[in-house]
Amino acid sequence: MAQFLIIIIQQKFLFSSFTNQKDFYMIGLNSHTAGNVIFYLFILLLNSLLGLGMVYIGGAIFTQSKIAIIMGPVIFLPNALFGSYFKNRNDFSAWIAWIEYLFSIKYIFNAIAANEYEYTKFTPNSTTLLDMQFYKWECVYLQLGFLAGYLLISDIFLVLNKKILQ
């Protein structure tokens, strides 16, 4: 398992670093320090690993590929909606606002926004305007927790469905 994870990380790192570095400089994001650039690449690598973890869960839960393909958008849309990607977190009702903390895309968006506006003097600061609650390294720790949780859940379902999947 560890060797497999190392190979996946190496492949994801090479692909994501080339494509995302090109995107970073073409868009003109915050390159005030080298740390901002490296952090941005690291967050996007972590984002792709989180997506891979979600795919592992889908592959472990659903035994037929057609069902897994159909369930992909069903799993992703609540993640994007409640993760403050489609809608501002202040627009949610109080009874449903707690659900945003269950989706990893919230922390990815928060980390990228915190990194982007770290050395800027915009008034008002976009991180306060969007009500970002976490610092960028807190988001990294939470994303690593999500990744560990995704891998653990997929391993549990693989063990439970071993006979069906073979």
DSSP assignment of 74-90 equals HHHHHHHHHTTSSS-GG
Given a cut of 70, whether residue 10 has pLDDT beyond it is no
In this prediction, residue 145 carries a pLDDT of 93
SS percent in the chain: helix, strand, coil, step 5: 75, 0, 25
Question: pLDDT tens-digit profile of 26-77?
Answer: 666 666 677 777 888 888 888 888 888 888 888 888 878 788 888 878 887 8
Question: pLDDT tens-digit profile of 70-115?
Answer: 887 888 788 777 776 666 667 777 787 778 788 888 888 888 888 8
If DSSP codes are grouped into helix, strand and coil, which group holds residue 49?
helix
Q: Which two tokens stand for residue 23?
A: 């995107």
Q: How confident is the model at residue 116 (pLDDT cuts 50, 70, 90)?
A: confident
Helices and strands, number each (H, E), in the chain: 7, 0
